[in-house]
Structure formats: structure tokens, C-alpha cells
Amino acid sequence: MDSIELSQIRCYGYTGFLPEEQVLGQWFEVDLTLWLNLQDASQSDVIDDTLDYRQAIAQVKEIIKQEKFALVERLAGAIADSMLNLDKVQQVRVRLSKPAAPIPDFGGRITIDITRPLPQDA
């Protein structure tokens, strides 16, 4: 299966378990892998035969900016659901990171990594 990868989509949002995370917000970073058939586009050179990834990037940013969830797992799931609604996408992998999680004495990042196929009834 072919794929398109979009890396380091960075956006400020208000998801988090702590109340201050939902008020003050924080940065999130998203890497996407979108599986779709690129056979036609590889032959035709026509944008309608592929996914216009500008739409995917805009949707990710809109979800991060507008939605407020307690769990980053829920935010990652909302992004995955949105990507599966894009025309031609058959499967998605979302890697959602909090590069500066508010955890004392922790300088690393938290990353949620989910992969979802298009539901069979779609």
C-alpha cells in the first residue's frame, strides 16, 4: 500500500488532564502517515488522483486549536477519525507529541501513536 507522510505539524492547543493545560494551552506536534492508492496519481500527474495534503494539515491544526479534551489519546483519536474521512485515505497513523509536558523533573516528550484502518462499512 502506498502512503503519504506529513511530519512535524506543529500547533498550539488546549488539551490536557490538568486544568491549567486547558486554560494556558501548550504546543503539540503531529506526524501522520496516510495510506492510499497512489497508482493513478503516479501516472496522471493530476491532483484529483491523490490526496491534497494541505487539507489534511489544515484539519489537524483546526482540531488541535478548537477541541479541548482531557486526554491526548482522545485528541489523537479525533485526528485519526478526521483523516479517515478524507477521500481516498484507507488507513492512518497518528503520532501526537507533547514536547513540553507539565511533569516535574521530566524534560522529555510524551507521544501517543495510533494506527486506524478505514472501517469496513465505510
13: cell is 492547543
Contact 28, 75 (CB under 8 A): yes
Task: Count CB atoms within 10 A of the CB of residue 18.
Answer: 13
Secondary structure (3-state) at 58: helix
Secondary structure (3-state) at 55: helix
Helices (H) and strands (E) in the chain, counts: 4, 4
Rounded Cα–Cα distance for residues 103 and 94 (Å): 23
Active site residues: 98
